[in-house]
């Protein structure tokens, strides 16, 4: 049986609603079932009052999301998200995989209709220079494919950083060549 999560109106509520609706949709519930049975029992306090008064008018989950966000997010929230997406770069101590996942989540919130090509282009362009060289000449279908490659790239970089060449064995012939043999 499905047990809905209670959602209150906090800064994370719009994301929780969106994520919850997406997850439930993948489990076979239609928009109508979500909006009639799940959403009303998932909302509490101010969000529940809003839904009873006006939110129930949404015909699709997408309409509900837009209406919910319009009601509870700050007026410049979407602009701030888009701006964060434009300015977000990979931090020097952030793994490439973490960066790709963070950008994917930011895209889900700031620009869910962006094409895969746009996402991949921005993520590779704004990656730390350490990783940028590894992307030259590579084509990725989407951020999932890029994330898979990120694991390999990180492994290669770690292996290169930890590489220590073996010392050549000290033999009589090498000592004679270098003139350091004991007299």
pLDDT band at 2 (very low <50, low <70, confident <90, very high): very low
pLDDT band at 106 (very low <50, low <70, confident <90, very high): very high
Least Cα distance to 102 among 61, 163, 62, 146 occurs for 146
pLDDT band at 8 (very low <50, low <70, confident <90, very high): very low
Which whole-number Å values give the CA distances from 162 to 155, 157, 158, 165, in the listed order? Answer: 11, 9, 6, 10
pLDDT band at 84 (very low <50, low <70, confident <90, very high): very high
Residue 174: the pLDDT is 55
Task: Enumerate the H helices of 27-142 as residue ranges.
Answer: 31-33, 39-42, 45-53, 61-72, 77-87, 96-110, 116-125, 129-135
DSSP 57: G
């Amino acid at each position: 049986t499905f047990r809905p999560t209670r959602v209150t109106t906090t800064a994370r509520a719009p994301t929780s609603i969106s994520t919850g609706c997406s997850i439930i949709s993948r489990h076979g519930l239609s928009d109508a079932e979500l909006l009639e049975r799940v959403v009303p029992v998932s909302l509490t306090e101010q969000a529940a009052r809003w839904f009873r008064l006006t939110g129930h008018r949404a015909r699709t989950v997408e309409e509900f999301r837009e209406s919910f966000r319009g009601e509870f997010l700050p007026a410049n929230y979407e602009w701030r998200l888009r701006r964060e997406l434009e300015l977000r770069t990979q931090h020097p101590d952030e793994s490439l995989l973490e960066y790709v996942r963070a950008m994917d989540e930011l895209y889900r919130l700031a620009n869910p209709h962006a094409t895969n090509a746009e996402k991949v282009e921005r993520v590779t362009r704004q990656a730390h220079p350490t990783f940028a060289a590894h992307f030259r000449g590579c084509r990725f279908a989407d951020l999932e494919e890029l994330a898979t490659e990120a694991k390999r790239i990180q492994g290669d970089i770690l292996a290169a950083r930890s590489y220590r060449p073996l010392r050549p064995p000290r033999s009589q012939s090498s000592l004679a060549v270098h003139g350091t043999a004991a007299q």
